[in-house]
Amino acid sequence: MIDATNRTTLWASILADELARHGVTHAVIAPGSRSTPLAVAFSRDERFTVHSALDERGAAFFALGIGMATARPAVLVCTSGTAAANFFPAIIEANQSGVPLLALTADRPADLRGSGANQTIDQVRLYGGHVRWFVELPEPAANPPDRTLRSLRTTICRAVAAATGRSGGPVHINVPLRKPLEPVPVAGDVPAAVLAGIGARGRAAGEPFMAVHTERLAPLDEIELRPLTDAIRGSTRGLIICGRGLVDPGPLVRVAQQTGFPTLVEPFCPTRLSPAATREHQLILGGYETFLRGALAAALKPDLIVRFGDPPVGKALLDYTEQHADVEQIVVTPRTHRLDSALTTTAAIPHEPKAVLLALIDQRVGATVDRAWQAAFVQAEALTQAATAAMHRAHPHEGTVVADVFALAPARAAVFAANSTIIRHVDQFALGGQGQFVYANRGASGIDGNVATAVGLAHSYPTTLIIGDVALYHDLNSLHLIRRLGIPLVIVCINNDGGGIFHRLPIAAHEPPFRELFVTPHGLTFAHAAALFDIPYTRAEPGEAFRGAYRTALETGGPHLIEVPSDAAAFENQRRALIEEVHRRIEAAEIVTKKE
């Protein structure tokens, strides 16, 4: 397993060996010369699945998708120079989202930096504060002491620990390498005595050289939870919000029942897309982006908000929490760097949501809920569901396409929602599902890399990517990954010819410069792009045509690109009309929100 051909192959193969001992199994490699020893080492180690990606930016987002799906870091390898810079957007996203990732950037030797040497830039701490840890390995040396090789293994152990701990995320390892880079014999580089040492051989039985016990959350205790339990017991108008960070729907449903609190659940939490949870438990609500606005949002003033997981995506829910900033708001999340963009939190409990929910169940924490308050939310949800379904039937639109994906995609499949308009469509229109899991790059919320991340996710799960035309345009190169790696990703592209999200913003009233500088219509369709990368393509209107095309794509089991044309301005009018219709129905129903 350890390649003693020369000092560089020894270095690279020890590095790969120690990573494999830590359970790292995926290596994503962008081609380049300076990274040759690393590429060869991973390709020769049968413990790794090696993925070859032509473009560094796409490679990095693909590795991000693997980490997202598996909770284990993929190794990401590139050559020196701007290749490493192209990893940066994905590293930023991994940092913000807490996704494990190990970036190995090959580099020229230190004496070539600042010399004008070709393809040489300063790669030391290239990613600044956007990584959990940075380390530059020493340059491989001939006849290295065993202590040096033990240090190399120990460094890799620390890197994996930094990437996978409670505060895990991306780690950057810079690897200076000197020629020869290829596995050609060099006399005297690796004497037999070197291979006899434990630094070269590693621990027995394939164990990691050093077990690093990563930071763990302290056990929950009653005193720590008392502010939360006291707040719940004293509340009559409590509200639960659940964002990304909770996978198991059971505890959330039980706490909603136990407290009687209306529970607003983002699609990132599988509870919302669980047919059993939404059918059997009326307090699990998903229509808040439509109904929780205007006069109703003001009237439905809570006395307590408890949020589990990350901050909400939707504007209506964010506005609601800020509108009631004077109310006690308790957040339960281990990711305290993503606490609260509205700056309304009164207390934070840095623990896993599931552990806290189970503790609340165990302590039988309940409340004497205002039944009129509770009923107002339940009735507003029912009216929203009915009005939304009616609009889907009468006038299929962008939101209908999203709803149809969740109605038809199989249980436990993944749906990746691209940024900008699409993630907001999912939040507003994915009101039911078959138990799918929703993923998105919501750390930095960038428009780039969405295709590649979905391809990485699809390596582990059957996956549908819902994406807008601008996001697809930004990551068009990554369509090559689908065919190159044999990934059966289904892509649903809603093409509204530009930045549809801007129609929601006040700048839409200012023409010029609205159309040319914000919407930026491009007039492109993606049939030729699909043909270029040999991906089956269908163009389908919203409604039955789309449903038929999507069923076919799921049944054939291969990659497919379905393009759905849309008019962004017309859809925005429909969306606003839906909100107005829901509020007319709410007003007509005379929902009472006064305390009993």
pLDDT at position 204 over 80: yes
Mean pLDDT of 185-198: 96
d(CA 165, CA 201): 26
Q: Are the beta carbons of 272 and 317 closer than 8 angstroms?
A: no
Q: Is the pLDDT of residue 218 over 70?
A: no
Q: How many C-beta atoms lie closer than 10 Å to residue 18's C-beta?
A: 23
Under a CB-based contact definition with an 8 Å cutoff, are residues 152 and 140 in contact? no
pLDDT at 117: 84
Please state, for a pLDDT cut of 90, what percent of the chain lies above it: 85
Instruction: Specify the residue for token string 């807008």.
Output: 468
Mean pLDDT, residues 74-89 taken together:
97
- At 167, is the pLDDT very low, low, confident or very high (cuts 50, 70, 90)? confident
Q: Report pLDDT for 271.
A: 86
Q: Is 511 helix (H, G, I), strand (E, B) or coil?
A: coil
Nearest C-alpha neighbor of 351 from the set 216, 164, 214: 216
Residue 385: pLDDT band by 50, 70, 90 thresholds?
very high
Confidence (pLDDT) at 133: 97
Identify residue 461 by its one-letter amino acid code: Y
In the sheet that 490-495 helps form, which strands lie side by side, from edge to edge? 437-439, 414-417, 463-468, 490-495, 560-565, 537-539
pLDDT at residue 236 is higher than 90: yes
When comparing pLDDT for 105 and 343, which is higher? 105
Q: Could you list the beta-strand ranges (E) of 333-441.
A: 347-349, 414-417, 437-439
Mean pLDDT of 40-68: 97
Q: β-pairing, 49-52 with 26-29?
A: parallel
pLDDT of residue 416 exceeding 90, the answer is yes
pLDDT in tens, 471-495: 999 999 999 999 899 999 999 999 9
Cα-based distances in Å from 245 to 248, 308, 355, 400, 595: 10, 7, 12, 27, 33
277 pLDDT higher than 90? no
Residue 285 has pLDDT above 50, yes or no: yes
Neighbours of 516 (CB within 10 A): 11
Q: How far apart are CA 171 and CA 107, in angstroms?
A: 16
Confidence band of 357 (pLDDT split at 50, 70, 90): very high
Asked whether the predicted pLDDT for residue 169 surpasses 90, the reply is yes
Tell me which H or E stretch contains 538.
strand 537-539
Give the model confidence (pLDDT) of 417-461 as tens digits: 999 999 999 999 999 999 999 999 999 999 999 999 999 999 999
Distance from C-alpha of 266 to C-alpha of 276, rounded to nearest angstrom: 16
- Output the pLDDT for position 286: 95
Task: List domains and CATH numbers for the chain.
Answer: 7-206 (3.40.50.970), 222-382 (3.40.50.1220), 398-565 (3.40.50.970)
pLDDT value of position 338? 66
pLDDT of 595 strictly over 60: no
CA–centroid distance for 30 within its chain: 22
319-344: average pLDDT: 87
